[in-house]
Amino acid sequence: MDVAIIKYNAGNIRSVDHALKRLGVSAEITDDPDRIKAAERVIFPGVGEAVSTMAYLRERELDKLIAGLTQPVLGICLGQQLMCQWSEEGDTSCIGIFDQPVKQFPAHELKVPHMGWNSLDRLSGELFPESLLGSYVYFVHSYYVPECEDSAAVCNYIVPFSAAMQKGNFYATQFHPEKSGGPGQEILSNFLKL
Amino acid sequence: MLAKRIIPCLDIRNGMTVKGINFENVVDVGDPVELGAKYAQEGADELVYLDITATHEGRKLFADLVGRIAEHLNIPFTVGGGINHVSDAGILLSAGADKVSINSSAVRDPDLLDRIAGGFGNQFVVVAIDAQFKDEKWTVFVNGGRIPTDKELFSWAHEAQERGAGEILFTSMNHDGTKDGYACEALKTLSEKLSIPVIASGGAGKEDHFVEVFQEGKADAALAASIFHYNEIPIPELKSYLKQNHINIR
């Protein structure tokens, strides 16, 4: 299968590539618009910060390119957040695939960032069969998308938030499937099987 | 609910996992990738790899090793040892590390934390602190617990948080190696003073110590080495024991 991982100024993109290799798929890490458009699957990963990442994507017009893709697209972590309308992180206007805001976790006795393994609830869509209900996956984030009509999985930490989202051909996870052991591998595999 | 994490720690010398006490009588115990994969399979939530190599060649081997670990492991891992510059951290990030652990170099050059966190994000930075309780205070040590500093545990941990640490890994030198349990009282104070997660290290000897460190010590994660390496407490048994004691674990 022809999978493109969108290359940009974010950390640890390679771990997604490694996870796909463990599933027997060799992906290409690229920012070439033609290669991205032609791929059967596109993964938009991300560890980083909203302002500089959006600036980087806009400069290369990757924001418009991503919004116009018609094959299955999977955003991960910051990827999910940037696929929303707007982020409280630096008051940043984002790509706008999901008509949702990205908010900062409020001050609370629970620690921020939300870091570690937490469980999935209220599952829907092809990536999240009922067998994954209650599965633990790995999160690292300080901003979140509230639970909404696009939520494909919900996690509860300080507030209930979108652990995963889906709208048409666009899929996204706030957690890192590439670092989430067996359940993570299953979710990635489900994305490849779409 | 967010799960408490169990973190085996592997010491690496010249690209191999080693066991030893205070860097003495060190013996090779095998391939770090295989051992790490075994722990991950058994239910470890994260792994820490510490490079105890002092040579330039060893460092190169370690970076190569980090790349191999990243290829094989499907859980997060932290690497530490000898990170003195932003570029050292950058090499490990490129090799596939999820986090770096910084200890002595942060004490000597606290601004290093601002630079690494600024460049790669707070989530990438774990600040490891070795401290000893003596004369009614916790003194921070550097160089593997050999050299005392003028820093005090709680104020240094707070400064590290303000400078961009995403987590604090606290080793009590009074408890390390004793197998008498973690420094729960100090951990509780630390956890309550900080807004970032705290990883407890030093003193694990039996399953109850993990219950204590989570319930009384308020730790977010517990790290141990020898009890896992010598299979004194297999991870699956530890996890089911914690579950029985109503600790939320994966």
Contact A115 B94 (CB under 8 A): no
Contact B74 A22 (CB under 8 A): yes
Tell me which residues of chain A have a pLDDT lower than 50. Answer: none
B96-144 pLDDT per residue, tens:
899 999 999 999 999 999 999 988 888 899 999 999 999 999 999 999 8
Nearby residues of A153 by Cβ (< 8 Å), 6 or more positions away: A120, A121, A122, A123, A124, A128, A132, A162, A163, A164, A173
Within 13 A of B38's CA, how many CA atoms are on the CB side? 12
Verify whether the Cβ–Cβ distance B197 to A156 is below 8 Å. no
ipTM of predicted assembly, 2 dp? 0.92
Per CB-CB distance under 8 Å, the chain B contacts of A15 are: 70, 96, 98
Active-site residue, selected from the candidate residues B45, B51, B130, B220:
B130
Gap from A181 CA to chain B (nearest CA, Å): 5
Min Cα distance B52 → chain A (Å) is 24
Q: What is the pLDDT of residue B52?
A: 85
To the nearest whole Å, the CA of A10 is away from the closest chain B CA by 8
Unique residue bearing structure tokens 């190169």: B60
Instruction: Report strand pairing: A92-93 vs B221-224.
Output: unpaired
| Residue A156: closest C-alpha in chain B | B1
Residue-level pLDDT at B25:
60
pLDDT at B20: 58
Cβ atoms of residues B98 and A12 within 8 Å = yes
* Chain B stretch 131-160, residues whose beta carbon is closer than 8 A to a beta carbon of chain A: none
Helix (H, G, I), strand (E, B) or coil at A99: coil
Judged by a CB distance cut-off of 8 A, whether residue A140 touches chain B is yes
Please report the pLDDT score of residue B58 as a whole number: 76
- Residue A30's alpha-carbon distances to A25, A48, B80, B133, B145, in angstroms, are 16, 18, 30, 52, 45
What's the token pair of residue B25? 């009588």
Other CB atoms within 10 Å distance of the CB of residue B155: 12
Beta strands in chain B (DSSP E): 5-13, 16-21, 24-30, 47-51, 77-80, 99-102, 125-134, 137-142, 147-152, 167-172, 198-201, 221-224
What is the CATH number assigned to the segment(s) B5-244? 3.20.20.70
* CA–CA min distance B190, chain A (Å): 13
Q: What residue spans define the domains of chain B?
A: 5-244
Catalytic entry in A89, A147, A178, A186: A178
CATH assignment at residue A108: 3.40.50.880
Tell me if residue A109 is catalytic.
no
B74–A179: do the CB atoms touch at under 8 Å?
A: yes
Separation of alpha carbons B228 and B202, rounded Å = 13
Question: Using CB atoms, which residue from B45, B70, B195 is nearest to A111?
Answer: B195
Low-confidence ranges of chain B (pLDDT < 50): 23
How far is B40 from B72, CA to CA, in rounded Å? 10
Supply the range of the domain harboring residue A35. 3-193
Residue B130 falls in the annotated catalytic set: yes
- Number of domains chain A contains: 1
What is the model's pLDDT at position A12? 67
B98 touches chain A (CB under 8 A): yes
Q: What is the pLDDT of residue B16?
A: 84
